[in-house]
Amino acid sequence: MQFDQLKRREFITLLGAAAAWPIRAGAQERVRRIGVLMNVAEDDAEGKARLAAFLQGLDEAGWEVGRNVWIDIRWAAGNIELNSRYAMELLALAPDVFLAAGAPTVRALQKATRTVPIVFTSSADPVGAGVVASLTRPGGNATGFASFEYSIGGKWLQFLKEIAPTVKRVAVMRDSAVPAGIGQFGAIQTAAPFMGLLTTRPIDTHDSGEIEQDVIAFAREPNGGLIVTQNTSVLFHRKLIITLAARHRLPAVYASRFFVTEGGLLSFGVDLWDNYRRAAGYVDRILKGERPADLPVQMPTKFALVINLKTAKALGLTVPETLHARADEVIE
């Protein structure tokens, strides 16, 4: 496995270019328009990094902001009403193609239009969410990049047991309102007995107060650990979740790297920056005339294991050498 990070200088350059969006070019070359609907807030550093990766992919495909393409961006911050409102705003700007984050943003765009192409970057279960008919033949105006494979559920348990062998009970933070949340919990439940785990308990991730109450209740008994699955709602509660895990000394495995860079213990999951870079390739093909209905949904190709040694030490955990050696990134 290899975790391909943007170099600092490239990252700053890309964000500098992003700050200038949209720019109407004065050259004779035809300028195409991309509408972007993000599922995070505008000041979210992770969201900016993902967008910078998309911009890098566009640049590699020959699309230069301000010369032959401009971009209109809306940041919905996981708000359903904003998703719908911004979808209509972007549609009114007559884009050639949309870039959408996860299934909720895709559904908002599909409600607004069934003709303008949509490329999504991080849908955990696009078929289950109803945004495509099938992975091989999407069939409508949307296609893109899946961000989860159900076998990852077993990997999360494996890594949790490796770094915290005494764990016998696991609380699984998931979004029960979406098919992917149900599926991810089911995958973990199926694998749990083979990992020597006695119980698995779901915790929904919509409301911060309920999250706190459920974690406090779970932590009253010993030998507990957390798995934080991939879903949009955990993005907005991540500081709370990381704080609760530390406060109650619960070893936690997360689906995304940014949890670990912000103080979480360990993550294993899809490199979403790579998904955004690859999404630029699909946008390029659509702008050159291909139809989303004919472009198969792509499964993840890059995964990353990230460990925070400082957090492990604070929890009294020793990271096994075998686990340390397999990590793509270790945070001191």
Lookup result for tokens 């348990």: 157
Measured between alpha carbons, how far is residue 21 from residues 25, 35, 42, 88, 117 in Å?
11, 11, 13, 19, 21
Average pLDDT, the chain: 89
Tokens of 71: 């971009």
Q: What pLDDT does residue 27 have? A: 44
Nearest to 58 by CA among 92, 91, 86, 97: 97
Whole-number Å distance between alpha carbons of 51 and 330: 24
Mean pLDDT along residues 12-20: 47
How confident is the model at residue 19, as a pLDDT?
44
- Contact (CB, 8 A) for 87 and 112: yes
Q: 61: exposed, middle or buried (C-beta count within 10 Å: 0-12, 13-18, 19+)?
A: middle
Query: Which pLDDT band, with edges at 50, 70 and 90, does 28 fall under?
Result: low
Rounded alpha-carbon distances, angstroms, from residue 161 to 154, 185, 201, 251: 11, 17, 16, 10
- The yes-or-no verdict on residue 221 having pLDDT over 90 is yes
**Rounded CA Rg of the chain:** 20
- Whether 5 has a pLDDT exceeding 70, the answer reads no
> So what's the pLDDT on residue 167?
95
Confidence of residue 9 (pLDDT cuts 50, 70, 90): very low
CA distance 91 to 81: 16
Residue 65, strand partner residues: 69
pLDDT at 125: 83
CB atoms within 10 A of CB 263: 17
35 has which bridge partners?
Answer: 72, 98
Name the percent of the chain lying above pLDDT 90. Answer: 66
* Whole-number pLDDT of residue 12: 42
Percent of the chain predicted with pLDDT > 70: 91
Task: Decide: helix, strand or coil at residue 309.
Answer: helix
Q: Enumerate domains of the chain plus CATH numbers.
A: 8-148+271-302 (3.40.50.2300), 152-269+304-331 (3.40.50.2300)
Q: Which of 120-129, 228-237, 292-301 shows the lowest per-residue confidence on average (mean pLDDT)? A: 228-237
Q: What is the pLDDT of residue 179?
A: 67
- CB 218 within 8 Å of CB 203: yes
- Given this model, what pLDDT does residue 173 score? 93
Q: Taking the CA atoms of 293, 295, 296 and 298 in sequence, report the sign of the dihedral they define.
A: negative
Q: Are 4 and 65 in contact (CB under 8 A)?
A: no
pLDDT tens digits, one per residue of 87-139: 999 999 999 999 999 888 999 999 999 999 999 998 878 898 889 999 999 99
Residue 172 buriedness (CB in 10 A; 0-12 / 13-18 / 19+): buried
Burial grade of 43 (CB within 10 A; 0-12, 13-18, 19 or more): exposed
pLDDT one-digit tens code per residue, 265-287: 999 999 999 999 999 999 999 99
